[in-house]
Amino acid sequence: MSKLKAIFFDMDGVIIDTERDGHRVAFNQTFKEFGYPFQWGVEHYGELIKISGGKERMRHDFVSRKMDGFGPGQSDKLIQELHKRKTDIFISLIESGKLPLRPGIHRFMKEAMNEGLIIGVCTTANERAATAITKGLLADIDFAFVFAGDVVSKKKPDPEIYLLALEKAGLPADNCLVVEDSQNGVLAAKKAGLSVLVTTNQYTENEDLSMADIIVSCLGDLNHKKAELKKASKYFPDTGEVTIANIIEYFS
């Protein structure tokens, strides 16, 4: 890598550990309100998140359940209504403080700002949810851009969103790093020619993340939860915190 000039962050599972106790809970409450006689359990949702995008997950699940009116191309309006209500519930969870930032993410972003790096968010999550996090919990971070929802036509593992980020940043891939948590995210970043730092979570720790350059359990907070180094292709200090200084040195 040439000199590091930008970092692009995924959101769900990277900035906030949203999947199990955020999105899944919001989906289930939505299903209950709409009168559907099922809920997504922890293990079942772990399979569904391999599909990028909430609307896509619902359609896949509904089709697999052989629910009437949910064949290919059918009930797009209802899917949109369900997803809109789910997003309202999810945002209320964020604003209530029930979904805190992952360990070290705020510190890491502040360090990146202090180094003058471009900071962007590239997520398949709904734009309103992304805004609630970036303008709320991370209001003091200077984001150059936040790409979310349907800003691209093809979702991860397609590289479209990261190619868009490179275009927006005006930089070659060799100057940029992606922070991801999932196999789909790693594949998308690598297809765009980017280096990848992975922070795992309950749903992604057993995925094949071997294409990543560095894998850690989280970015780490010495006063809360330390980072556990799981992979690095060369020496990387296992101090309990992933710092921007160490990342710059590693990729220089």
Q: Hey, which residues are catalytic here?
A: 10, 12
99 backbone φψ class: left, alpha, beta (φ>0; ψ -120 to 50) = beta
User: Look-up: residue for tokens 């896949």?
Assistant: 60
DSSP state of 60: H
Edge-to-edge strand ranges of the sheet holding 214-216: 145-147, 118-122, 6-9, 176-180, 195-199, 214-216, 229-232
Q: Residue 229: exposed, middle, or buried by beta-carbon count in 10 A (0-12, 13-18, 19+)?
A: middle
Q: Please report, as a single letter, which amino acid is at residue 201.
A: N
- The radius of gyration of the chain from alpha carbons, rounded to an integer in Å, stands at 18
With contact defined as beta carbons under 8 Å apart, do 177 and 7 qualify? yes
Nearest to 207 by CA among 51, 13, 50: 50
What secondary structure does DSSP assign to 67-133, as a single string?
-TT-STT--HHHHHHHHHHHHHHHHHHHHTT-SPBPTTHHHHHHHHHHTT-EEEEE-SS-HHHHHHI
CA 178 to CA 167: how far, in whole Å? 15
